[in-house]
Amino acid sequence: MTQDELKRAVAQAAISKVESAIADGEIIGIGTGSTANFFIDLLADYKNDIRGTVASSEASAERLKSHGIEVLELNNAGTLGVYVDGADESNHHLELIKGGGAALTREKIAAAASKEFICIADESKLVDRLGAFPLPIEVIPMARSLVGREVVKLGGNPVYREGVVTDNGNVIIDVYDFMIDVPRKTEETLNNIPGVVTNGLFALRPADVLLLGTPDGVKEMT
């Protein structure tokens, strides 16, 4: 199977998992990225049944709207029944690295606002130890150099993601050469640097369910 076929398979499995939430009139949180896009496209079949969605990026909001699916502001939506999103890495505790698509802050907000976080990914994303994928940090532009220096003190190699401005008007620093042994602690430490909006570790609020696409079928981890 190709990577896209694996992504589509996990998106389909996620649809089965959210059907009851849709039927119950819950608001569905929608992630960002190529795997989330498969989920959005499959969700189009339910557009007349869904009470509403909250998107974690302008790109996902546009895709949802192009299918005729209602997109709400989180401030008007209350608690989300379920949030479905991809990841760049997951460990076996369902702690994640996210933000490859620069949407990490809104993704973290949507996950925090959700009763359940279902992560969808192909099997290449499952790792024993987080950090081979460079860890994204969203930073207020004037703090870029300060945050970079602090990251170096912590042992990381910060690289400014050229030409990228987030939906919130900020910049992204990707941290290379930074293997993460205690994700919750690292998430807190990085978030305490002045100028950091948030970092791409989802350990304080990990996924509740990981649907992993493998050639032998979709595996569910909890």
Cα(112)–Cα(74) distance, integer angstroms: 11
Q: Does 174 bind ligand 5RP (CB under 6 A)?
A: no
Judge whether 128 and 57 are in contact, CB under 8 Å.
Answer: no
Q: Nearer Cβ to ligand 5RP, position 101 or 148?
A: 101
> Crossing angle of helices 34-43/3-23, nearest 10°?
50
Count of residues in contact with ligand 5RP, rule CB under 6 A: 17
- Tokens at residue 190, please? 């990085």
Catalytic residue (one of 26, 107, 116, 138): 107
Tally of helices (H runs) and strands (E runs) in the chain: 7, 13
Compute the least distance from the CB of residue 40 to ligand 5RP, in Å. Answer: 11
- 78 labelled ligand-binding: no
* Closest listed residue to residue 193, CA positions, set 150, 134, 161, 157: 150
* H or E segment and range at residue 220: strand 217-221
Compute the least distance from the CB of residue 24 to ligand 5RP, in Å. Answer: 25
Q: Does 206 bind ligand 5RP (CB under 6 A)?
A: no
Tell me, yes or no, if 107 is annotated catalytic: yes
Q: Compute how many other C-beta atoms are within 10 angstroms of the C-beta atom of residue 92.
A: 11
Compute the least distance from the CB of residue 183 to ligand 5RP, in Å. Answer: 15
Q: Hey, which residues between 18 and 47 contact ligand 5RP (CB under 6 A)?
A: 31-35
Q: Which residues pair with 221 in a beta bridge?
A: 210
Compute the least distance from the CB of residue 212 to ligand 5RP, in Å. Answer: 13
- 32 labelled ligand-binding: yes
Q: Does 213 bind ligand 5RP (CB under 6 A)?
A: no
Q: Which residues pair with 91 in a beta bridge?
A: none
Amino acid at 110: A
Q: Hey, which residues between 87 and 146 contact ligand 5RP (CB under 6 A)?
A: 87-88, 98-104, 107
Q: Nearer Cβ to ligand 5RP, position 86 or 206?
A: 86
Judge whether 173 and 83 are in contact, CB under 8 Å.
Answer: no
In which residue are the tokens 């189009």 written?
A: 44
Binding interface with ligand 5RP (CB under 6 A) = 31-35, 85-88, 98-104, 107
Residue ranges for the known binding site for substrate are 32-35, 85-88, 98-101, 125
Q: Indicate which residues carry an active-site annotation.
A: 107
